[in-house]
A and B are shown apart, each in its own frame.
Chain A
Amino acid sequence: MLHLFSNNTALFGGAIIGLSACGMMLFFGRIAGISGILWNVIQTPRDHLPSSGFFLCGIVLGTVCVAYISGVEIKPIQSNMFTITLAGLLVGYGTKLGSGCTSGHGICGISRFSIRSTVATVLFMLSGIATVYVMKNLV
């Protein structure tokens, strides 16, 4: 039985994400940033379905494979529709405004020593930590 979610699988999973990022750069010269790739598909679906669209489908496919092999079922956390919608809007709006998310800034950007990506990564981590603190202790 595969023990999901130990420090070792985290390191291994991260390395696989890195391989994917390298593949995107080697073959297509592109950053593997999910928010940017998703935005491509929203903006001009016809142009980007065979590239970005297939990448996004691949993400779902890879997740299905791991879930099938490991047999681990992951359920979303309990929340209400308002929180889920607000969180989604903020993530979409924020990543578009800030030109990137955890993958584009956090992995690809930091790997290139991009100062913008490093600052963005520190900021969204701090902001996430502050949000969790507020939600747990003050709300």
Chain B
Amino acid sequence: MKYTVSQNNNIRTALTYLFCGALFGAGLSLSGMTDQNKVLGFLDFFGDWDPSLIFVMVGGICVTFIGYKFIFKRQSPLWGEVFTLPTSKIIDKNLVLGALLFGIGWGLYGYCPGPAIASLAYLHWETLLFVAAMMTGMFLQSKQAAYTAKKVLS
């Protein structure tokens, strides 16, 4: 069977996504983000505080900041038309409320979205339940947003 150029490009794209994801997952687990005790220790600021996760942020931000500097000198990404970046600068109610609710969930069980998905690798039912609930939460929010938008229109 012979593949066309576009099929080859699709395979290349998929493999690159897989590789970027693998880097992300390796980084998360190396840094301790998939260890809920570690994450909750970081959030236990007034108790037995474990500051090490600050280093994850520092490492991540330094590399991304420098990398982005060079990347944004280009007109476009290597395999795409444009850089897709959020442009809004407005601090609205959704951003504030969303971040606060997310923080509560994070503090309750020590998983944010990346580490939750990464931890599926450890094959425990608790992680699967969490990820299913997380996906449900996203779905419910989109339904609610669509419902509110419709009500405003009518």
B14 contacts which of A51, A64, A86, A128 (Cβ < 8 Å)? Answer: A51
A85 to B81, CA, bound (A): 40
Which residues of B94-108 have CB atoms within 8 Å of chain A's CB atoms? Answer: 94-108
A132 to B131, CA, bound (A): 20
Residues of B within 8 A of A92 (CB): 105, 113, 133-141
Cβ of B122 under 8 Å from chain A: yes
Interface residues of A, CB < 8 Å — how many? 106
**Beta-carbon contacts of A108-128 to B below 8 Å, as 1s and 0s?**
111110111001110111111
Interface residues of B, CB < 8 Å — how many? 110
A97 contacts which of B30, B52, B58, B97 (Cβ < 8 Å)? Answer: B97
**Beta-carbon contacts of A70-98 to B below 8 Å, as 1s and 0s?**
00011111010101111111111111111
Nearest CB in chain B: distance from A83 CB, A: 6
Chain A, residue nearest B97 (CB): A97
Given contacts A14-B27, A22-B64, A132-B107, contact A35 B138 (CB under 8 A): yes
Could you show 30 A-B contacts with beta carbons less than 8 Å apart? A13-B32, A13-B33, A14-B57, A17-B23, A17-B60, A18-B59, A20-B21, A21-B60, A26-B78, A35-B113, A51-B14, A51-B17, A54-B14, A58-B18, A59-B25, A60-B117, A61-B21, A61-B22, A62-B28, A86-B105, A90-B137, A91-B134, A92-B137, A96-B138, A107-B64, A111-B65, A116-B95, A125-B43, A128-B104, A131-B107
